[in-house]
Amino acid sequence: MSAGRTLWAGLRLLDRQLVDRNGRMAGCVDDLELATTEDGQHLYVSAILSGPGALAQRLRRRRYGSWMRGVHALVSPGEGDPTRIAFNLVSDIGDHITVAADHEELGSASAERWVRDHVIAHIPGSGHAPE
């Protein structure tokens, strides 16, 4: 393997703001998923994990983290692991991390979408919010 760009994960990636392709905030980097290379000799960063469940697991609140991930998966059916953002969606790493996806497409926003559709939308007058 040839030398490439280097960075420290804790210093440069963890807790960074995620920004979508339109410049909207899309959560924070709460953890990173590591995968093994085909030869089994190395680990590489395969995904960003973002959301309360991911953060709780990082803070060693594993039972709470598993529960939060379960709730998160419940309100975001069909999205797989809602906290996972594949690293190939990353388009820039700087003061913040830009992902080449829309805020609405990201699983980290699924709980927000569920509350919007199932709670806020049923409040009388909520349809006039932008006015």
The site for another protein (CB under 8 A) is made up of 1-14, 31-38, 42-46, 49, 57-58, 86-91, 93-95, 100
CB of 122 to another protein, least distance (A): 37
Strand-pair partners of 92: 98
Q: Pick between residue 1 and residue 123 the one whose CB is nearest to another protein.
A: 1
Q: Pick between residue 54 and residue 109 the one whose CB is nearest to another protein.
A: 54
Residue 19's nearest CA partner among 83, 80, 109, 130 is 109
CB of 84 to another protein, least distance (A): 11
Strand-pair partners of 43: 36
CB neighbours of residue 42 within 10 Å: 11
Q: Pick between residue 56 and residue 111 the one whose CB is nearest to another protein.
A: 56
**103, 85 contact by CB (below 8 A):** no
